[in-house]
Amino acid sequence: MKEFKPYRRKAYYYETDRMDIVHHSNYIRWLEEARIDLMEQAGCPFELTEKQGIVSPVLSVSAEYKYPVRFGDEFEVKCRLLSFNGCRFELEYEINNITTGQLSCIARTTHCFTGTDLRPVRMQKKFPELYENLREALEDNEE
């Protein structure tokens, strides 16, 4: 079983608002950073997929904010692949403030694989190696 490491960094000053907390829109950016990191760990780095003409647009995002992250706080994003059907996939996230020890946000995103023309791509047929990497990542999360 492959273990995926959480994405980790500190909150930057420019990400905060006048209340000295990270603006809610930046959590969505962090989800994307964590997704890119997870895909790389799963053997599907964006550099490779985009070179092959594959993009993965966002279909939906939902986020529930629990406790704020402030400038300088260290946080981690645990990202987990929930589903993958060969074209569409869903991810689940948990953002934890390491500095305070509090859960900051839970979220989900849904994506699909398309060509640059935004037509769906069946990964198993067109890119079997990348398909297998994602299928294995899903199985690892189910164990």
What is the residue extent of each domain of the chain?
A: 7-142
- The confidence band for 63, taking pLDDT boundaries of 50, 70 and 90, is very high
pLDDT above 70 (res 143): no
pLDDT surpasses 70 at 139: yes
pLDDT at 2: 67
Mean pLDDT over 1-29 rounds to 92
pLDDT at 1 over 90: no
Residue 79 phi, psi (nearest 5): -120, 135
Of 17, 20, 73, 140, the catalytic one is 17
pLDDT single digits (tens) 30-44 = 999 999 999 999 999
Q: What's the mean pLDDT in 106-129?
A: 94
| Average pLDDT score over residue span 114-120 | 95
Cβ distance 77 to 7 under 8 Å?
Answer: yes
Q: Model's pTM, two decimal places?
A: 0.91
CATH number of 7-142: 3.10.129.10
pLDDT in the model for residue 58: 97
pLDDT tens digits, one per residue of 78-107: 999 999 999 999 999 999 999 999 999 999
Residue 73 a catalytic site member = no
